[in-house]
Amino acid sequence: MRDQPSPEMQAMAELLRANGIFNGGTLDVAALRSGMNDGALPLPEGATRSDFERDGLKLTHIGSADARSDRGILYFHGGGYVLGSLDSHAELMARVASACRAPVLGLDYRLAPEHPYPAAVDDAVASYERLLDQGIAPEAIVLAGDSAGGGLVLACLLALKQAGKPLPAGAILFSPWTDLTASGASTDNRAAVDPMVSAALLAPMAAHYAGATDAGTPLISPLFGELNDLPPLLIQVGDHEILLDDSTRLAQRAEAADVDVTLEIYPGAFHVFQSMPQVPESAEALATAAAFFDRVMP
C-alpha cells in the first residue's frame, strides 16, 4: 500500500470538497437520491447486468467475462440507509465482479425513512437465505458492501449467527458505517479533512433508519455486537474519513474476539474511494479485495 495519496486522489478530494454534494448540513432525501442515480457511471466494458425480482426482493446479477460460476458475492450498496440503489452502485459492483472473477448479486434493500430498521436487515438476511435455499453452499459466498452497506453486511452476519444459520466464507467492507451513535473520535478529528461526509448529514440518516429503536442496538450499530465466530473480514477505509474509527474500532474488537480480520487504511483517501475508478487507489483496493476473496474461498 502506498505511503501518500496519489495526485488523482488529492485532486478528486478537492473537487468533492468544492462541490459539497454530500457534506452539507441538510438532508434532502429526494434530491440526493435523484443525484446519486443521475451521477451513476456506465458499466465497464465486458460487464453484464440483469435485474429481477424474487420473493419480494429486488436484485441485480452483475457478471464479467471471466467470472466463475462456482462462487459469488452478495453485495449491499451504501447510502446511509436512505440513499443508493442498484443503479447508483452497478458500476462498482461490476468492477468488484471483474476483480474477483465472480458474479455479484446486488440487493436493492428497502430504504428509510419509508422503511426504517429492521427492514434492511430483514431484506439482507432474506437475500442470503434465498441463495442457500437454491443449493448454493455458504462457503461459496462472500458478503460485501460499502458505507451503510458495509454495516448491513455485519448486521446480517450477526442476525444469521443469532439464528443459527451457516455463515458465508467471508466479508469485504468498504468504509463501513458501523456506529450510528457517532461515538468515534474521528467524527470530530477528521471533520476538517473529510471532503465527502459530515456528522450533520449522518445524524438525520441515523435517525431515519433507527426510528424508534436505540441507535446503539447491535443490529443497527454492529460495532457493538458480539463479533466472536464471525468469518474472516477485510476492512478498507480512508484516513480522511470521519468514519475512520468505525473501521479501526471494528478491527480491534474483531481481533479481540479472535476473528480473522485485515484492516487497510489508505492515506488521504475519502469515503468509499473504491467507487471512483479515476483514482488509482480504487484499483489497488479491489485487487487486495480479490486476493482476500480468493483466500477465503475453499
Plot region of 219 (φ>0 → left; ψ -120 to 50 → alpha; else → beta): alpha
Instruction: Give CA angle at 17 (13, 23), nearest 5°.
Output: 115
> How would residue 24 be classed by pLDDT, with cut points 50, 70 and 90?
low
Catalytic option among 77, 88, 241, 284: 241
Tell me the sheet residues that pair with 266: 238
Q: Is residue 38 scored above 80 in pLDDT?
A: yes
Has 89 been annotated as catalytic? no
Q: At which residue does the C-alpha cell 452478495 appear? A: 74
Query: Which pLDDT value is given to residue 1?
Result: 83
pLDDT of residue 231: 98
Give me the catalytic one of 64, 98, 271, 275: 271
Q: What is the mean pLDDT of residues 87-116?
A: 98
Q: How far apart are the first and last CA of the chain?
A: 26
* Res. 112: pLDDT tops 80: yes
Whether residue 240 is predicted with pLDDT greater than 70 in this model: the reply is yes
Q: Kindly state the average pLDDT of the residues 168-190.
A: 98
**35-44, 216-225, 240-249: range with lowest mean pLDDT:** 35-44
Given 85, 147, 175, 221, which residue is catalytic? 147
Per-residue pLDDT averaged across 250-272, rounded? Answer: 98
Q: For residue range 128-167, what is the model confidence (pLDDT) as tens digits?
A: 999 999 999 999 999 999 999 999 999 999 999 999 999 9
